[in-house]
Structure 1
């Protein structure tokens, strides 16, 4: 073993617990870099000893080691949907913002309002890699036009925290948008680095279905009859709700695929293991978390028919509640209140995932495979809402998945 090798990274990588957030590279840039590994996930590569201070930060904040608890976030909480101060459905009043966003453009509208009022100087989020359009790069947006241009879901590996050390050194007020695990890492880092809350006064997230590999996107492109290496642009969705996956090539060809086919037929089959045991896929420690406010049918299944976008908007902190209120008052958003239990019909897959976390992590314990610390996330409370057959099926299925991975 390398002298000075991070025990946290060793444990996280051996247990398939890495989410690829890049936090470790951000706090130890001289020792850790992010690389892409098959079949297309972002993983840390340690090339030098990690200092004691950096190791302490990694052990505290890495979402593969510990997930930030929900306790103390808000006065109300739900075992599926996390802490909340306000729950609404809504959409951006600017038609272009609403159209460009993956659902109702709520996150984009909130970011544009925060930039326009000077609450933040820039937005840290991800956008398409111009050289490899199915992949992601991190970017900083400073205008409404840039926010809209970089809007839309990006179902591919991203490491938005890999430059976090540099951004903290610069100290510009920044709004952060990332996956729930990314926000968890940033919140936890704030417990050992006082610069975090000053630099990132706003942290926004979304309900996450899990992170697929690059191979999933490549399968979509080939199913469209195109080749990934010939792409000039690729959108996973957006430009409508839910929006079509759309690819364009160097020779002027283009193709589209429905959200139901792209996610259900390809991407969902490529989700990394860490996401399958995620205890907080709903951005429980973000200031505001948004999602698709799907219209459910009589059987409880969301409808993916193209229509005007509608976002689910959950304000969790005082800062998030204030931002939402100001954006509504300024005419940036239209919202309507929603009861917490009504989210079940909009996001049934998220509800199912949460109530099965306990069974899936029990499989890991049975096989002596590590799991992240999950205290204060209502994992046990959610499991009590699952059927015994459902729990057993997922316990055995996870054991089978782990054993296959070990071969």
Structure 2
């Protein structure tokens, strides 16, 4: 059994498509759970391991040190990596800001780079016309396409086709790639092996990532609002409205005959800590801040920034030129920009940092104790010694809940019955609430979710 077979057989393949870029024989496709994964790992070669973000011996520390350590006055923090500047802010154009997931700075920067002639295309996730997948990596070659493909998508994607497209297009010579940490790492590893790709990739822009989701997440959100999985044809994961907080937003869904939107807290499965439909690989990622990205954007869910329902970005800048563009935008009044601290950045993603530091240490220790294979990570397993028994059970339970959610949703879809999923998830959900000291509140919320879903589906039947 080769290393790629071990990765896939143990459930750690994130399905990014990097191995398929370098080896045409390899096929990355969606599995029954609605996640991408390598379907023929036996065909993998030793070169393919070198571009896999979960198998490569070259970790984020090695990559980022080569890229950023020699930058004048660059700083380093073990949690967020290298940084030249840390900021929180938003674009002043309210229309652009309201159409963004956070503060709109990612799209604003992309437009600036395009207008200045620094890039001729953006590779990022956007809508697809496919009947199977609603989103995928796209190559945007105009301002209108860049704007159209803005916003976060909590949906499985792979970039093989998009990367092949830019490699084969002689008119594209300067592109920017936008993605989550594991995708950024894969692109950096590919550039180490592929001179043509390396010559075309000008910048990597990162997006903070709590974890990915399978296709089932979008389907569950739609199903609770009266749209069955096979009927869902549009979803906006971050639709802004008058909610009072940036962390409270709507999820908008559409089918051919139904259009609905509901605040995230009123839908089962939107609690990121619960981790429904999370790929197993996400529990084995130790990069929160996109450490190999030239600049990284996330949600500023801290202090007074979260009180602004229009949204703000947290920014980690590592590339001095990109940082200078932000500063120019601030000076011209186009964007709002405040300097923040490392602690502010960590607080904005505090739960994710805990889960991927001490939580990952617990998962590593558990695998080691059971003599089970797992990818090599930077986290020191000794961190697990200071984790309480109760907290340890939370971290391990999350893994089990994620796995069960995939299996149970497949069963519910096969029976065309959403309530089967609710009932099957109930014991694990209540156990999770119990270990988090919220059993009473969790039970009440679950009953609310069930009643709301029933009402939504009943209204659909009446129509």
Equivalents in 2 of 1:385, 1:344: separation in Å? 22
Rounded to whole Å, the distance in 2 between the matches of 1:345 and 1:219 is 29
Residues paired across the two proteins, number? 387
Residue 445 of structure 2 is matched in structure 1 by none
Q: RMSD value over aligned CA atoms?
A: 3.2
Instruction: Report the counterpart of residue 272 of structure 1 in structure 2.
Output: 279
Structure 1 residues 350 and 385, CA gap change in structure 2 (3 angstroms): farther
CA distance change for structure 1 residues 90 and 370 in 2, over 3 Å: closer, same or farther? Answer: same
Aligned to 2:302: 295
Unaligned runs of 5+ in 1: 2-6
| Counterpart contact for 2:175–2:200, Cα < 8 Å | yes
What's the offset of the Cα at 1:183?
0.2
- TM normalised by structure 1 equals 0.84
Match of 2:76, SS state, is strand
Is residue 64–residue 371 contact of structure 1 (8 Å, CA) maintained in 2?
no
How far 1:404 moved relative to its partner?
8.3
Quick check: 1:106 aligned with 2:96? no
Does the residue aligned with 1:177 lie in a helix, a strand or coil? Answer: strand
The 5 Å alignment of 1:3-402 reads 7-29=2-24, 31-46=25-40, 49-50=43-44, 55-56=46-47, 58-66=48-56, 68-71=59-62, 72=65, 73-74=68-69, 75-132=74-131, 135-170=134-169, 172-239=173-240, 241=246, 243-251=249-257, 253-262=258-267, 264-265=270-271, 268-296=275-303, 307-329=309-331, 331-355=333-357, 356-375=359-378, 379-380=379-380, 383=383, 387-389=387-389, 392-393=392-393, 397=397
For residues 312-367 of structure 1, what are the alpha-carbon distances to aligned partners after superposition, in whole Å with 9 as ceiling and x for unaligned?
11112345434434544565432110011122332221221222222212222333
Q: TM-score, normalised by structure 2?
A: 0.75
- How far apart, CA to CA, are the structure 1 residues paired with 2:108 and 2:399? 43
Instruction: Work out the CA distance in 2 between the residues paired with 1:269 and 1:385.
Output: 27
Quick one: distance in 1 between partners of 2:11 and 2:367? 11
**Contact 1:153 1:238 (8 Å CA) reproduced:** no
Decide which structure has greater helix share. 2
What is the CA deviation profile of residues 229-287 of structure 1, one whole-angstrom value per residue up to 9, with x for unaligned ones? 22342111144545311012212x21112233455258831111110121113211111
Greater CA radius of gyration, 1 or 2? 2
CA distance in 1, matches of 2:398, 2:370: 10
Shift of residue 47, structure 1, vs aligned partner: 8.6
CA distance in 2, matches of 1:214, 1:97: 27
